Amino acid sequence: MTDYLRDGPAIYRQSFATIRAESDLSAFAPDVAGVVVRMIHACGQTDLTDDVVATPGVVRAARTALESGAPILCDASMVAAGVTRRRLPADNDVRCHLSEPMLAKLASTMGTTRTAAALEFWRPSLEGSVVAIGNAPTALFALLDMIDDGAPRPAAVVGAPVGFVGAEESCAALAERGDLEFITVTGRRGGSAITAAAINALASPEE
């Protein structure tokens, strides 16, 4: 029989010990560092620390909002599916509106992607929410435009869309904001797994 570690808790402990040993977390406050560790765990890249930008108060803001029952608004079904419901402190709603019946028509009318157009369905719940964008740069750009146009502000934003067109630029735009609590991954890296991992870490202290 192949010799490999089979003890689940031991694998868990060793994984996180390896991340902390190999990652430079010195730039982050302890609570933010805990979130970054989980983001690294989701992608297996210890140098992710080079690209993560976060506001000092993002963890506190997100946890306070979630404990108060705020919804989590997701740009993609994969992000929503990655949120571990048992970690949520108030059985929070996790919403993704990509299946709305009129979304394709709305996107065509607006001249944008379905993912960006879906943010229109966020408007009634945006204030004080926790936003998770892990797929579409157009959704992150649309969120920032909505806020600039007077839409309510979420309590916290995890903005880590992935890709080669717009991802780097949209995350850079978020990183420049002084009016939002956020965590983002600059450059081309990101994605649903990293974003969901950040949300799960924000939902509850590191285990």
Give yes or no: 97 in active site: no
Helix extents (H) in 57-122? 58-67, 77-82, 103-110, 114-117
In the chain, the amino acid numbered 37 is: V
Main-chain dihedrals φ then ψ at residue 177, nearest 5 degrees: -75, 135
Q: Which residue, chain included where needed, has tokens 């926790």?
A: 130
| Cβ atoms 147, 171 nearer than 8 A | no
Tokens of 107: 């996107």
- In whole angstroms, what separates CA 26 from the centre of its chain? 21
Q: How far apart are CA 163 and CA 187, in angstroms?
A: 9
Q: Dihedral of the CA atoms 9, 64, 134, 24 (nearest 10)?
A: -60
Specify burial of residue 111 (Cβ count, 10 A radius: 0-12, 13-18, 19+).
exposed
Catalytic residue among 28, 34, 41, 121: 41
Residues designated catalytic: 41
